[in-house]
Amino acid sequence: MARLPWLLVAALLAGCASYHARPLPDQAGARRVADLDAPAPPRWLPAHRFDPSDGLDVTEVATLAVANDPDLRTQRDALGIARAQAFAAGLLPDPQFDASMDFPRHGGAGLTNAFGLGLSADVTALLLRSSRVAAARQQARQVNLDLLWAEWQTVAQARLLFDQVQALRAKQTALDAEQTALAPLDQRVQAALRAGNLTHDQASAGLNALSDVRQQLADNALALHQADSDLHHLLGLAPEAPLDLVGPAYDTMPTTKQIDAALAALPQRRPDLLALQAGYAAQEASLRGAIRAQFPAITLGANTARDTSAVYTNGVSLGITLPLFDRNRGNIAIETATREQLRDDYRSRLLAAHGDIRHLQADLATLDARLATLTDHARSLDAGRSAAEGAFARGDLDWPTYLSLRGNALAADLALIDLHQQRGTDAIALEALLGNTALASNSDDRKAATP
C-alpha cells in the first residue's frame, strides 16, 4: 500500500507524450532530379517504368510531381491533423476527482480534521460521443478525398507544364532557325541601304523582318523561363537544377460514349464530389449531435467524507442542467443552415462539372477540325518556303516576296504549335474533370492511391 501512490504516478508519467525538437530545413529545393524523394507511383496512374537517367517523359514528370509537390506535402500534413482530430473525438472524457480538507478552528473532545473525496463524470459527453466521432471521421474522409483531388490536379498541372515547356522550346527552335536564315538577308539590306541603293521606305520590310523575329524570340524566352520555373517548383526542384524533358506531350481524347458513361458515374467517381458528400455526412452528424445536446446535461458522481466529529458518510451526486432558456436552439439553427448551404454547394458543383465537361468536349471537336486544316495549310506554306529558298538563292525571286513567304510559313508553324498545345490543354483538363486519371476504384476512398 505504501508503494501504491508512487506506482500510480509512474503509470501516469509513462503515458505522457514527450517533446522532440524538429529544426526547419535550410535548403530551398533539390539540386538534382536524383535528389528528389523516390516516387512510388499511385495505383491510379498507368503502370510506367521510371528511369530519369534517360530524361523525364510526361508520365515520369507527373509521378515526380505527386511525390514532391510542396503544396501536396502541406495537404498531406492537413490530412494528418484531420486524422488526429478524429482520434481525439473518440477519446472518452476524463473523470473529475475532487478532494477537500476542513480543520476545526477550536479544539475540543472528539474533534478531528474533516475531509471529502469525490469522483464524477460527464454523462452527456458519453451520450454525444457517437455523433462527435461520426462527424470527425467524415471530416477526415473529406480531407482525404480533397487530397486525392489535389493529387489529380497536380498530375494535370504537371502534364500541362510539360506540354507548355515542350511547345515553347519548339517555338524557340523554329524562331532560332528563322533568325539564322534571315541574318544574311538582313546584312544585304543593310549594305544596300548604306550604299544608297535602297531608301528607308523600300528597306523597311527587310529591316523589320529580323527585328520582329528577335522580338518574338525574347517574348518566347520569357514565357519559357516562367513555365520552366513553375515546373521546377511543382517538382520540388531548386531553380538551377537541370531538367531534361523528353518524349511527346500527353494527349488523349475519350469517345462520346466514354464521356457519357463517365458523366453518369461522376458523383461516385470524382474525389471533389465525394469529398463534398463526406462533408455533408459530417454535417448531418453534427446536426444530430446538436439536437441531442438540447436535452439536459447530466453529471454523475460518488463521494465519501468525514466530518470533524469523525462521522464517515458515503453519497452520490447528480447534476442536471435545466433546459429553460437556451436548449441549444442557437446551435441547432446554425447546424441546420450549414447543412442547407453544403447541399446547395454540392448541387452547384455537380452542375458546373457537367457544364465544364460538355464545354471542353465541344471545344475539342472544334480544335480537331481546325488542326486538320491548319496542318495542311502549314505543310503547303513549308513547301513554298523551301521552294522560295532555292529560287531566291538563284536570283529568281525578289527579297520582299521571299520575306513574305517566309513570314507566312513561320506564322503558320507557330500557330500550329500553339493549336497543338491548346488541344493538349483542353484534353488534359477534360480527363481530369471526368476522373479518367484514376484507374483504381474509389470504393475505399484513396487508400490505394496514396503515394
Q: Does residue 141 share a domain with residue 194?
A: yes
Q: Residue 94 — φ and ψ, nearest 5°?
A: -70, 140
DSSP state at residue 449: G
Q: Does residue 351 share a domain with residue 304?
A: no
Q: Does residue 168 share a domain with residue 310?
A: no
122: in domain: yes
Q: Count Cβ atoms below 10 Å from residue 358 Cβ, excluding itself.
A: 13
Q: Does residue 421 share a domain with residue 365?
A: yes
Burial label, 203 (beta-carbon count in 10 A; 0-12, 13-18, 19+): middle
CA distance 257 to 252: 15
Query: Would you give the distance in Å from CA 268 to the centre of its chain?
Result: 20
| Structural domain that includes position 302 | 106-127+296-327
SS3 labels along 359-406: HHHHHHHHHHHHHHHHHHHHHHHHHHHHHHHHHHHHCCCCHHHHHHHH
44: in domain: no
Q: Does residue 272 share a domain with residue 309?
A: no
Q: Does residue 305 share a domain with residue 191?
A: no
* Count: domains in the chain: 2
Strands (DSSP E) contained in 37-147 are: 96-102, 114-122
**pLDDT tens digits, the chain, 451 residues: what are they?**
556 556 656 655 666 777 777 777 666 666 666 566 655 656 656 666 677 777 888 888 888 888 888 888 888 888 888 888 888 888 888 888 888 888 888 777 778 888 888 888 888 787 788 888 899 899 999 999 998 899 889 999 999 999 999 999 999 999 999 999 988 887 887 777 777 776 666 677 777 888 899 999 999 999 999 999 999 989 888 888 888 898 888 887 788 888 898 898 999 989 999 999 999 999 999 999 889 888 888 888 888 888 888 888 888 888 888 888 888 889 899 999 999 999 999 999 999 999 999 999 999 999 999 999 999 999 999 999 999 988 988 888 888 888 889 999 999 999 999 999 999 999 999 988 987 654 333 334 433 333 2
In this prediction, residue 449 carries a pLDDT of 34
Angle, CA 197 vertex, CA 192 and CA 200 arms, to 5°: 75
In this prediction, residue 22 carries a pLDDT of 78
190: in domain: yes
Can you read off the three cell numbers belonging to residue 168? 515553347
Can you read off the three cell numbers belonging to residue 269? 467517381
Q: Does residue 205 share a domain with residue 146?
A: yes
Q: Count Cβ atoms below 10 Å from residue 360 Cβ, excluding itself.
A: 22
In this prediction, residue 445 carries a pLDDT of 43
Tell me the whole-structure pTM to 2 decimals: 0.77
The b/e string for 109-141 (b: 16+ C-beta within 10 A; e otherwise) is eeeeebebebebbbbbeeebbebbbbbbbbbbb
Can you read off the three cell numbers belonging to residue 52? 530519369
Angle, CA 126 vertex, CA 124 and CA 129 arms, to 5°: 110
Best CA proximity match to 75, nearest among 159, 148, 155: 148
In this prediction, residue 68 carries a pLDDT of 81
Sign of the dihedral through C-alpha 122, 124, 129, 132: negative
Q: Does residue 356 share a domain with residue 314?
A: no
In which element (H, E) is residue 415 found? helix 399-434
12: in domain: no
DSSP state at residue 138: H
Q: What is the torsion angle, in degrees rounded to the nearest 10, for the CA atoms of residue 4, residue 5, residue 9 and residue 11? A: 20
Q: Does residue 315 share a domain with residue 260?
A: no
Q: Does residue 366 share a domain with residue 419?
A: yes
